[in-house]
Chain A
Amino acid sequence: MTVESAPCAGCHEVTDAERFAQLDDVLQQYRDVPGALIPVLQIAQAIFGYLPDAALRRISTALGKSFSEVAGVVGFYSFFTTVPRGRHLIRVCLGTACYVRGGKDVLAALRSALRVEVGETTADQTFSLDVGRCFGACGLAPVIMIDDDVHERVRPGQLMGILEKYRVPGARDAVRREARQETV
C-alpha cells in the first residue's frame, strides 16, 4: 500500500483530523495482521511526514503493542523520525567508501550551509539533514540522497547549486530527471 504524502500546491491543506482518519483506516486493515507494526509505522510516517506521539499512541492501542515496544521499534530504525521533517530530506552517506572519499567534508559543508545539526530541520522547513550508512552506491562515492534522488561524487563546492534546485517549488521533478540521468 502506498500513501501520497504532501499535497501538491493548490490542493487544500490536509488537516490533522484527516490524517488521523487515514491512519485509523490503515489500522483497521492491519488490526489482526501479524508483524504489522513496521509496515504501519512506515505508512504512518508517509501520512504525517513523521511519527507524532499521538499517532504512535493510537498505533500502540490498535495493534495491542505496548507504547514502550512501539517506541523501541521507532528508535531502532534510523528511517523513523518523531520530529517533523522539512519538505526535503538530505541524507549524507557515511558508509566506508563515502567516508574515505570525503563524505564527512560534504556533511560539514551541509551543516554550515544549512546551519543545522544532524537530525535537525532548517528554520524555513525546507531541508532536514540526516546521515546514512551506505546506500549501496559505493562506486559513486561520496553520495548524498535528497528525498529519493541520489547525487553522486558530490563535492562541497557543488552543494549550493544542488540545494538551490530544491528550493524552487515544483522544480523537484526536473531535478529528479537530472539526478537519474547522472546515475545512469
Chain B
Amino acid sequence: MVRLTINDTPVEVAEGTTVLHAARQAGVRIPTLCYVERLQAIGACRVCVVEIEGMLNLAASCSLPVREGMRVRTNTRRVRESRRLVVELLLSEHDGDCQTCDRREDCELQALSAELGIRSITYTGQKTRKRIDLSTPGLIRDHGKCIKCRRCVSVCAETQHVGALWAQGRGFDTAIGPAFNRELSTVACVQCGQCAAVCPVGAITEQSHIERVWDAIDDPHKHVVVQTAPAIRAALGECFGCPPGTLVTGKMTTALHKLGFDAVFDTNFAADLTIMEEGSELLARLRRTLVDGQPAALPMFTSCSPGWILFAEYFHPQILPHLSTCKSPQQMFGALAKTYYAEKLGLKPEQIFVASVMPCTAKKFECQRPEMNASGGPDVDAVLTTRELGKMIRAAGIDFLSLPESEMDAPLGLSSGAADIFATTGGVMEAALRTAYEVVTGRPLPLDNLHVAPVMGLTGVKEASLVIEDTRPDWSFLEGVELRVAVAHGLANAQRLVDAVLAGERQYHFIEVMTCPGGCIGGGGQPRFTNDTVRLARIQAIYQEDESKTLRKSHDNPAIAELYATFLGQPLGERSHHLLHTKYHARSAV
C-alpha cells in the first residue's frame, strides 16, 4: 500500500494506483475529458491536472502513479485556473452549433464548461475546420466539433482491433479520422459505433432515421410495424433518467403504440427463429462431419452481429464459410414481416414499412445490404437507435415514466426468455444450447436455471463444454460427444479467438461473437455513457427478463411452431433458405 495525502487528507491506496483513482477512492472529484476507464489514460486533454508538492509543473492525474508520501492538491487556484484555461482553449476552437447539436443535452465539454463556471471565452482564434462526413450508412462525423481527445481512436484500435480512425497530420491541423482525411467509407470501418458511444461531444453520432420513420407513420398508405431488439428494454429507461438496468418493456410497448405504429412487434420473435435455424445448421454441420465423414465448416460462428460480419468480411475472409448463413434476427424479422405477416393482412410487401429499434449503428448498414431484399425491396426500411427512440418519444410529448405497461402484438410479438438473452454476451450461445441439447436428448439443458454460467459475464473470451449423453435415436451420432463452445465480445477479443482457432491452438464446435463489449446491451446506439457498471446492470436486467418468463426456450415458442407449420415448413427448408439465410463477401481491408 502507498500512503499519500490528497488536499491534506491521508489516503492509502494500492501501489500502481493513479492519482486520479486515489482521489476517487477518497471521494475527491477530479474532472476528466479524454480519460476513459479501462480504455485510455493518456493525459492528452490536461483537464485532470493537479498540483503535487515538489513538482514544478502541474501533473495529469489520470496517468500519474501515486508515490509514498506524495502530497496532492486538487483544488488550488492554480489548478482551477489551468483547467479553465484548457477548457477555454478547447471551446475557442470548437465549432459547436451548441443550440442544435445532437449532444446538447449530454455533451461532456458543455458539462465541464458549466462545472468550471466558464462564462466567456478569453481567446479568439481559428476554429477547427468544419467537415461533415456522411459517407457511411451508420455514422456521421462532424469534424468541426472534434476536440481530439482520441477516445474514438483508442476504442477503434484497441477494443475493436479495427483502426479506422487515427490522428492525421500534426499540430493545429491534426484531424482525427480515416487515412488522409478521406471519407469514412474509404477505409475498413465495421460501423459498430463504439466511436460514437465514447465521443464526449457531437463529433460522431448515428445517421438519423427519425424523419424516415415519422414520414412512414404519417403515410396513410403504409402499414408501419416496429420491432425492438432485446437490448432496448434494458436501456431505454436511461433516456428518461432511470438508473441503468431498469427494465421498461411494457412502457416501451405503450410508447411505441402511442407514437402511431400500426403494430408493435419484437425482434425477440426472430431471435427464437434464429435459434431454430442456426441450431439446425450447427447440428447439420455436425452430422455432416460425424456421420457422413465429409468436411464441414466447423467451428461455426454466429452471424447476428453486423459489425462482426463486416469485420470477418474485411479481415478474415478465409473464415466466411464458417459463419452461420442465418441472417440476423433484425433481417429475419423484416423478411417475415413483408411476406408471412403481409400475407396474413392481405397486403403487398411494399405496403409494409418495417422500422427497427436497435442498440446498434451497424444495423443501419445491415438493412441496406443488397442481400437483405428477400421480399423484393429492403426488408427493413429504417433503423432507430435506442437514443433515437428516446428522442422520438420526447418529441411526441409522451411522459414515458408515467405510461402504463402493455403487451406486444401477435403474432410477431411473442417470444421466449432465450430470445431476451440475445442482448448479452453469451446469450446467443446459451439460447442455442437450451434448444440444441433438448432437441438431441429430449431433456432440458441440465444446468442451474438453464444458465451456461461459464459464458456469462464480462470476461473477453469465454469457453464452455458439455458432454452429450443419452441421445434420442436420431442423434445417436452425438452420443458421448463433448460439445465445445466459445464466446467473444469486443472485436479485439474476437480477433484473439479467431487467431487461436486458425493457429489450431483451440478447437470448438460453435463460437458466438458479438461486436460490442458486453454484447448488444453495450451497443454503439445505446444511451451514453456505457461503462462496465452500466453493462453489468443492463445484463442483470436481461437475465431477470428471461427468468421472469414461463417460456424460456426458443423451440417452445408456439408462434414459431405455427410459423413453421403454416408458412416455412421446416428449419433450413426452401422457404427458410430464401428468406432467412444469406451469403457473405470478402472485402478489401485497404
Contact = CB atoms under 8 A, between A and B. Distances in A.
Interface of A: 56-58, 60-61, 65-72, 75-76, 82
Contact of B590 (A67, A72, A76, A82): A67
Given A67-B188, A82-B180, A61 B589 contact: yes
B163 A75 contact: no
A71 B166 CA distance: 8
B167 A72 contact: yes
**Closest 10 A-B residue pairs measured CB to CB?**
A66-B163, A71-B179, A72-B166, A57-B590, A68-B166, A68-B179, A67-B179, A67-B590, A75-B169, A69-B166
Contacts of A72: 166-168, 179
A160 B167 CA distance: 40
A77 B109 CA distance: 30
B162 A66 contact: yes
B163 A69 contact: yes
B179 A76 contact: no
Interface in B551-590: 589-590
A58 B166 CA distance: 18
B176 to A, nearest CB: 9
A66 B188 contact: yes
B517 interface: no
A73 to B, nearest CB: 8
Contacts of A58: 590
B586 to A, nearest CB: 13
Contacts of B164: 66, 68
B151 to A, nearest CB: 15
14 contacts: A56-B179, A58-B590, A66-B162, A66-B166, A68-B165, A68-B179, A69-B157, A69-B166, A71-B178, A71-B180, A72-B166, A72-B168, A72-B179, A75-B169
A97 B525 CA distance: 53
Interface in B168-186: 168-170, 177-180
B6 to A, nearest CB: 37
B170 A76 contact: yes
B79 interface: no
B590 A61 contact: yes
Contacts of A68: 163-166, 168, 177-179, 187
Contacts of A75: 168-170, 180
A142 B245 CA distance: 67
A61 B163 CA distance: 13
A56 B178 CA distance: 14
Given A75-B169, A75-B170, A65 B180 contact: no
Contacts of B165: 68
Nearest to A66: B163
A71 B181 CA distance: 9
Contacts of A82: 180
A76 B166 CA distance: 11
Contacts of A67: 178-179, 187-188, 589-590
Given A60-B590, A71-B180, A66 B169 contact: no
A57 B186 CA distance: 12
Contacts of B170: 75-76
A157 B177 CA distance: 44
A71 B162 CA distance: 14
A75 B168 CA distance: 6
A58 B165 CA distance: 19
A71 B168 contact: yes
A85 B180 CA distance: 18
Contacts of A56: 179
Contacts of B169: 75-76
A76 B171 CA distance: 9
Contacts of B168: 68, 71-72, 75
Nearest to B170: A76
Interface in B150-166: 157, 162-166
A170 to B, nearest CB: 37
Contacts of B589: 60-61, 66-67
A145 to B, nearest CB: 21
A66 B180 contact: no
Given A66-B162, A71-B178, 19 more contacts: A57-B590, A60-B589, A66-B157, A66-B187, A66-B589, A67-B178, A67-B179, A68-B164, A68-B178, A68-B179, A68-B187, A71-B166, A71-B180, A72-B168, A75-B168, A75-B169, A75-B170, A76-B167, A76-B170
Contacts of B188: 66-67
Nearest to A77: B170
Contacts of B187: 66-68
A85 to B, nearest CB: 18
Nearest to A58: B590
A19 B483 CA distance: 51
Contacts of A76: 167, 169-170
Residue with the highest number of chain A CB atoms closer than 10 Å, among B164, B166, B177: B166
Contacts of A65: 163
Residue with the highest number of chain B CB atoms closer than 10 Å, among A65, A69, A82: A69
A60 B188 CA distance: 12
Interface in B33-57: none
Contacts of A66: 157, 162-164, 166, 187-188, 589
B415 to A, nearest CB: 39
A70 B164 CA distance: 11
Nearest to A59: B590
B571 to A, nearest CB: 39
B512 to A, nearest CB: 25
Nearest to B167: A72
Interface in B119-163: 157, 162-163
Nearest to A65: B163
Contacts of B162: 66
Contacts of A71: 166, 168, 178-180
A4 B291 CA distance: 61
A72 B153 CA distance: 11
A34 B448 CA distance: 47
B387 to A, nearest CB: 26
Contacts of A60: 589-590
Residue with the highest number of chain B CB atoms closer than 10 Å, among A61, A66, A67, A71: A66
